[in-house]
Structure 1
Amino acid sequence: MYKAGETVRYWGVKTGGLTWLSAEALTGKIIGQQREERIYKIEGQSGTVQDVPERLIDGDCEVKAG
């Protein structure tokens, strides 16, 4: 289980009942969750908020400044 404020890598998003997978890991910050469905709200680097199933989250990561 991830906590709000954690920075994670994720491999896809859920939109309109469909799951879209990414070939490259995306990075974002967890801002909330839906516990029943095991879906996390993640704010991506562009500022957009995505619904991400827990199984697509890679976990804790360091974001390098630069």
Structure 2
Amino acid sequence: VRQAMVLTNNPDKLRALAAGGVEIAGRQALYGSLNDHNHRYLSAKAERAGHWLDEVLDTRSSRD
């Protein structure tokens, strides 16, 4: 694989692919439904691993 359109919210994944010689043709964010059961988990992924989840996490604060 020389080029890929990547479905991810994980910046480390993009860096690893690029370091491996894969040209990133684009990135599509993936968002599921935010709810009381997954909010802490998704917040931790964003805070600890740097996942791009601000858009989905912002929907909760607009609902509160």
Rg (Cα) greater in structure: 2
Q: Which bin holds the TM-score, normalised by the shorter protein?
A: under 0.3
TM-score (normalised: structure 1): 0.27
TM-score (normalised: structure 2): 0.27
More helix by share: 2
More strand by share: 1
